Structure formats: C-alpha cells, structure tokens
Structure 1
Amino acid sequence: MPTILMRYRAAALLGAAVIIAPLSVAAFSAHNVAAAAPTLSASPNTGGSFAPIVSADKPAVVTVTTVIKAENAGDEEASPFRGNSPFDEQFRQFFQDQGIPMPDQSPEPRQGQRAEALGSGFVVSADGYIVTNNHVIDKASGITVTLDDGTQLPAKLVGADPKNDLAVLKIKPSKPLATVGWGDSDALRVGDQVLAIGNPFGIGTTVTSGIVSARGRDLNSGPYDDFIQIDAPINHGNSGGPLVDAQGKVVGIDTAIYSPNGGSVGVGFAIPSDQARKVVATLMKDGSIEHGFIGVQIQPVTADIADAIGLGQPEGALVAGVNGGTPAAKAGLKAGDVINAFGGSPVKSPRDLSRMVADLSPGTSKSLSVWRTGQSRDVPITIGRNTGDQQ
C-alpha cells in the first residue's frame, strides 16, 4: 500500500495522526447481521508464538483515514497532548500529580492546508459496521476505511459518544467481512499478556505485545474512567485499534499514550471492552446515546467523615453541593448527605454513582439510599438530561 503509506506519512507530518485508540465488537443482539460470515476465533497462544491469534484477528482490523478542514485541523485536532483533546486537561493533571512532565506538543497545520488524520478500527459485523474512537473521526469532513486487503471504501458515521470516546462507522462491502469477538475485560489481571493491533504512523497493520500494567486508571476525564494501562507499544495511528487477550478476544480499545517525545514509552491506556460493548450496541441500534445526570457535586467518604456522621464504613458518595433547579434539588438532596445506594445497587465511591447515573436515560426514575443525620432514608429521583460534564 505505497500510496496510502505516502499519504499517511504526510498526515503525520501535519500532526494529523492521533495518539489515542480503538474498539472492536462481535455480533450484537441489537443488530441482526444480514450477511453471514463466521466470527474468527484465535487459539490460545502455543509454543511461544502469537501467530495463530494474529492470523485470526488481523483481517478484521482496519485503517480509518479522515479529512479535516484547516480550521478543524488547527483548532480541533484530536491529539491527546495538544491542549484541545477531551483528555488533555485530565492527562496534564494526572501526570502533574505524578511529577511527570507533559510531552511536547506537535506543530499545528497552517491555515489553508487540508489535513488527514489516521486511526484504526475493527469490523464488528459482517455487513460493514466498524468501531473506532470518537477522537479519530471528530470534526471530519470525510471518512475512508482501508480493509486489511487494501480495499478502500467511503464510510458513514452511524453514531458517536464523546464521553466514552467511541464511534461506529458503516461501509458497504462487496462481500461479507471478517469480524472479531468481544472478550471479558473484567477477567483481566495485572500481568496478563495482551496484543495491540493497529496502523501506527500509516506504515501498515502492526502487532505489538505486552502485559497489563495496571487496572482501573482514573485520569479524571469523566465518569467512565476505568482505563487498562498496558506496556505494549502503541503510537500515532493506533487509536481505535483492538487490545486482544491470549484467546484473540478484544478486551480493550487502545485510546491514549503518555509520551514525552512523541513515541511509545510503554505507558498506554485502553478502554475496557466490557465498558465499550454496551455503548457500541446502543450506537448501532439508535445512532446516539443520552447520558443522565442528577446535579450534585460529590466527594469520597473518608474514615474521619464516616466516624463523624456515624457510618459504619467509609463508603458512598458525600454530597458536597446541590445545583439549583436540578433533579437532585427537586428530590430534596442536601449538602452533607451520603448516597450509599442507587436503584438498589451499592455505591462504594463517587465514581460508582457517577457511572450509574450517566448510564441511565433521561426520565428514568430511581430511588437513592441516603444517610442523613444518623439515619438512612430512601429518596426518589427522576434522572435529567446531561448536556455537558454534569453528574
């Protein structure tokens, strides 16, 4: 693919290739696949070689190229360390807290230039549904998908969810396509082997290996932060590509890296597959996702706070403030309340509550279990529509 390679290299020089990554899916009950092609299944790694996994999964990995207008390329380019990606401020704070310098920023394309952004993705249904990161296609005026065999096809955006950084595309292939299957990211353990597949720098589909370095990384970018940290090398262009386990199943979506020099230093972040799977199914079915909110500021319950208010365990979400006119205000929530259950599910941390609320559709009614003045009480609440970074 020399033509593609030259074009992608030019895109990288323009700073158009992104450093954040992908998602993959198997057949979904929300979508009936018309064209039947068997989902590829890789055998467990044997003899120290990942070749069986790669031969099974690689045909379903694609390259996603987008055309970005000059004003979008300059102002909205989705580089995660450029000061304008949805993750930038959170990455800056995260690495500042760790005493690590932020990486250098790439130069922006000049006004009037036509930039191309490069990412990766997965075929998730035989009739042409593909999943990638939202930041790969954000603000794009045109999207092209290149299949593993080199076939290039125009793609249509089916739907996107910026909060989860996920997007679903659709192409019209001439024959049923190979797909990959979902794995169980919740079963991943620190130290497990993983493979990252994508198209770094536009040089062609590339496979790198590593291990799970950490689980549950919270970069403070939103209620869905639960990143898998990996040391498998990923670079510009890997965004939207799959992270697969020893069975060849997708357990993560390569989404971001920390790099002080623009290249991989073994610190990558992936969206867990169990988180992405539901989002993708909804986007394939409805084309969009509405997130809920209740209108509170919350913080952790420390041991000292728990002792002071008579809670047996330092768990739950402490209400630090209630926004006027919100569902929380209408329900009568007050600063100082501790929410320890939502809809019957226990709330052990503020992140638990944020995710539970965000996962609900506006208009849904639930009951909160609230600890107030030494007593537990149930508070009914109707979920509102999230129009920003509310919770």
Structure 2
Amino acid sequence: MTDFSQTRALFHIPEGVTYLDGNSLGPMPRTAAARAKAVIEAEWGERLIRGWNDAGWYVQPRRVGDRIARLIGAGAGEVVMGDTLTVKVFQAVSAALRLAREGRRVILSDSGNFPSDLYAADGLARAVGAELRVVEPEAVEGAIGDDLAVLMLTEVDYRTGRRHDMAALTRRAHEAGALTVWDLAHSAGAVDVDLTGANADFAVGCTYKYLNGGPGAPAFIWTHPRHADAAQPILQGWMGHDAPFAFDLDYRPAGGIERMRVGTPPVIGMAVLDTALDAFDGVDMAAIRARSIELTQRFIAGVEAACPEVTLNSPREPAGRGSQVSFRHPEAYAVMQALIARGVIGDFRAPDVLRFGFTPLYIGEAEVDHAVAVLREVLEGREWDRPEYRSRNAVT
C-alpha cells in the first residue's frame, strides 16, 4: 500500500503554502539541490569531459527514460529523454506522417489541446503540404475519417481536466487506418496511463509538472516497438545518429528509440529529474489514480457546497477527468491572485478559469479542506476586489 505521508516528506513545500499548481510546475524535491551541486562540482568540476563516460551522461537519456516508462505503461528501452516538449511533438507527428498510408495528409486534433502542440503541428503541416484539422473535444471520434493520417491529442485538457479515452480513440483511429500521437503533459505521474495496453503509436510529455523535474526539465518521447526501427522524424540531430561520433556528413538513424534523440542532453536538469523520480519508487500508479479521485471529488464537493459563486468547469465523473479541477468565475484572475496572496497557489486560465491540480505525492485532505475554506473567505469577503489583484502583471 502506498504511504503518501512518506512521499510528502520528500518535497520542500514552503511554510504556509498549500500548493495546488503542480500541473504547471511541481515542487522541489528535497534532494534536488544536493544532486545539482554534485553534478556541478563532483562530475563537471572534477571529471570535466570525462563525465560523459565516467558519470554516465551519455546514457542518461535512456536510463531516465526507463524510469518514466514504468509510469506510463511502456517497456524498458522504449522512452528517451531530451529537448523540449514542442520538439518532441514535432518529431512524433512528423514520424507518424511518414508512416501514414499513402495519400493521407490530415492531422486531427481538438480545440482543448495545448496551443503549442497546435502551433508545432500547424507549422509542420504547412511545411509538408498536410492539413491540420481542429474540432471540439467532443467531436473528435466523429471526425476520424478515411482521410486521416495522424490523430494528435493531449490526453488531459490543460484547462478543464477533461480526459480523453485513449484506448477507445486509438482503436477508432486504427480502424480508420490512422496513427496516434498522445501528449501526456497533464497525465504522466498523475493518472494511470497505459500506452501499451491502449496500443498507442507515439507519446510525448514534459517532466516539470507532475514528475517534479523543475523548470525547463527535459521532455520525453515514446515510440511503440512496432515503429521503433521504422520511424523517421523530420528533425534529425547528431545524438540520434547511428554513429554520432563518426561525424558522418550523411544521416543514418540509430536503432530503436535512440533515433529520437536530437541535441546534447541537458545533463544537470536531467540529474535533478532523476532524483525527483525517486519519489515514485515503490508507488503504484493505480494507487495514485485512486487517491487523486478521492482528493478531486472532495474538492469539488467542498467548493460547490461553500462557494455558489463559482461553476464547475471540469467533468463531474472521475473517469472523464484527470488530476485537476477547474471552476469558472467572472473575476477568476483577481480571485486567483487573492488566493495566492493567502498561500493557496493554483493558477488562472483565460478567460475566467480557476485551475487547481492535485498530486497525492504531497497533497492530502487537509490541504484540500484548507483550500476550500480560503476560497470561500476570498469570495465572501470580496478580497479579490483590490487593484493589486486586478492588475494582470503576474505569470499564473
């Protein structure tokens, strides 16, 4: 049985803070600073260039990838780290397009997708003569047709927390002869992802949210083993070459997931991520999911009972929701600033969304109940109606 009181002790949560913004940036693991210091001083400082071999920097992207693989229903040797999420989205979608049936050029996504994913897909589509088609989240299944090449979706909507049925939509796409690319930015580390069980084709994700890798932490990419030696992303870099240190002028892709590497890995950031992943050792993702449902249900019930001024903006049924809950309020920005000033940190999404993320690794019933109580006080006392809270000069 997972003991979440023990995992909570692994994180630094500032005194007086209830942190419900882990879906934008996870808190700092207590071991992060020491790990970064060790890499800088003992590895970089003392080993210099020898660190690539002596300290394992070169194999770090695969080794850390294997640790994430367990959390997303993937196998060993199927996940590799590096670069940013937008780079990985571009790689995955371009590789899927090249594997698509001849003549198919449609990339389908939904309006709840994270805009950066849509930007990357749009740029790719215009460059290669494909079409990005965007529909409402509820219309995705009906929009899967015989012209579809790639279905590109974020599993959990970054604003509402709406969760797509990965297995069902992947099956429908395959029936239509298309491939799938799943963005797990708001899934990995928070819900019970099963890429293998869903028979997905490609998946990507960031690690600074629920995986607590810190700001700018590297992204990951997964390719189903059936595609691993055939996938050919448009963006090719020297670390994905079969013999990167031969410095051949012609590109020859490495075998398997290694071909999805692009640039030099961010060694210090990846070391911090590596130590952050220790919090998941011995943790059952099914237990995290069950606990997440308990916390989000408790929060919804508490807010609806105490705060009639707000309206639920997330699916009510847990099966259709990730590990975040959002409510709507006409003064959401100011309300969130007032909450943050009181030590309850969530975030705002335009135009009127209050968004809260729940991570069982460090959030429990006490934090949920405290957040409900402070939200009620902020609304009842109109604490949000102050000039300093209305001024939109903060990043939230």
TM over 0.5: no
- Higher helix proportion: 2
Higher relative contact order (CA 8 A, sep 6+): 2
